[in-house]
Structures are given as structure tokens and as C-alpha cells.
């Protein structure tokens, strides 16, 4: 079994729980609701990217091209947020416990999976809100036509790094923790 398949199986209950908690129809029904979702994803990515970068940078040579924070920042500005207010948005706390490269890959698995999920949400945002990959929906359109290639490249690096059972277990634990943290963060009301 590939490490991605292993992580998919391990996070499946968390994924199902998140889908039950998120009201996608409402979350993407208005510009303000969508902006709130972007703000929450920004807070998640701000913490996660800074956490995992030093852990996976050497093992995942294209990490820089995987950053979602710039996309989310541009989407927030395109949907009406004041550029000065974006940096002041709340950041997700607590962050997942992650102290090694295998754990970093487990955390990043959740963010890379969100990239795949964004592709299914993009048509809804285009249709309902009139946004586009170049205007307000860059995050949902992450990687554009290269999404499959980027996923395969990530899976290959993940398999290489987490080939032994101990590293695979660390990645699993971090992925589940990250997924559960993301669910709590996305579904928490603004404070």
C-alpha cells in the first residue's frame, strides 16, 4: 500500500466528520461567507506552512511552489479584504504536534488534499459568486492543470521519505491530528 493510501485510510473518519460539520452550500453561498472560509484557510495555512517548511524543505524540493498563503492572500484582497487586515487575521491554534520530516509530510498531506478538494468546489464558486481562478478563486484552483502532476510528485516524495513503518506511523499520526485540527478550526465561529 502506498503511503498516500495509508494516510487516506487513516484520515477517512476525520474527513467524513469534517464533511458532516461543514455546510458547503451555506459556506459558498455569499461573498461574505466565502471570505470567512478564506480567512479560516488563511489562518490554517499561515500556521501550517511555517511549521512544516523547515521539516520538509529538503525532502520536498518543490515546497516553495506549493505555498497556499499567497493564493489565499490574493483571494481575500480580490473579494474585498483590506490588504493591511489580512496579516492580522487569526491563526489556527493549537497547531498539530509535528517535530520531524515524516510528521511534516503527514501535515502537508492534509493541505495537499485540500488542493484536490478545491477543484470540486471551484465550479460552485464560479457559478454562485462569479469568481474565477484568476479573480478570487486562486486557492481553489491551486496548480491549475498541473494538479494531478503535483499530487503524484507529492506522493512520490511521501513514499520515499515514509517507506519504513516508523516514519509511516509518524506521518499517519500527524495527518489525523492536522485533519482534526483543521475541522475544529474551520467550524469554529469567529472570535
Domains of the chain with CATH codes: 3-187 (1.20.910.10)
Residue 67's H or E segment, with its range, is none
Block residue for cell numbers 524540493: 61
* Rounded average pLDDT over 82-106: 92
Instruction: For residues 20 and 98, give the distance between their C-alpha atoms in angstroms, rounded to a whole number.
Output: 26
Is the pLDDT higher at 93 or at 88? 88
The whole-number pLDDT of residue 189 equals 63
Q: What is the mean pLDDT of residues 129-157?
A: 94
Residue 174 has pLDDT above 50, yes or no: yes
- pLDDT at residue 187 in the model: 86
**Residues 80, 81, 82: CA angle, nearest 5 degrees:** 115
Amino acid at each position: 500500500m502506498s503511503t498516500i493510501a495509508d494516510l487516506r485510510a487513516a484520515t477517512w473518519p476525520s474527513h467524513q466528520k469534517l464533511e458532516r460539520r461543514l455546510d458547503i452550500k451555506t459556506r459558498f453561498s455569499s461573498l461574505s461567507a466565502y471570505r470567512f472560509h478564506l480567512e479560516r484557510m488563511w489562518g490554517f495555512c499561515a500556521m501550517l506552512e511555517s511549521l512544516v517548511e523547515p521539516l520538509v524543505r529538503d525532502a520536498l524540493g518543490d515546497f516553495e511552489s506549493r505555498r497556499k498563503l499567497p493564493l489565499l492572500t490574493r483571494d481575500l484582497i480580490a473579494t474585498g479584504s483590506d490588504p493591511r487586515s489580512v496579516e492580522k487575521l487569526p491563526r489556527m491554534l493549537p497547531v498539530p504536534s509535528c517535530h520531524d520530516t515524516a510528521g511534516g509530510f503527514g501535515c502537508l498531506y492534509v493541505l495537499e488534499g485540500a488542493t484536490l478538494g478545491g477543484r470540486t468546489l471551484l465550479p460552485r464558486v464560479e457559478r454562485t459568486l462569479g469568481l474565477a481562478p484568476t479573480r478570487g478563486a486562486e486557492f481553489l484552483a491551486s496548480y491549475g492543470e498541473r494538479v494531478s502532476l503535483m499530487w503524484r510528485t507529492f506522493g512520490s516524495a511521501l513514499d520515499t521519505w515514509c517507506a519504513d513503518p516508523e516514519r509511516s506511523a509518524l506521518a499517519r499520526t500527524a495527518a489525523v491530528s492536522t485533519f482534526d485540527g483543521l475541522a475544529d478550526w474551520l467550524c469554529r465561529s469567529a472570535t
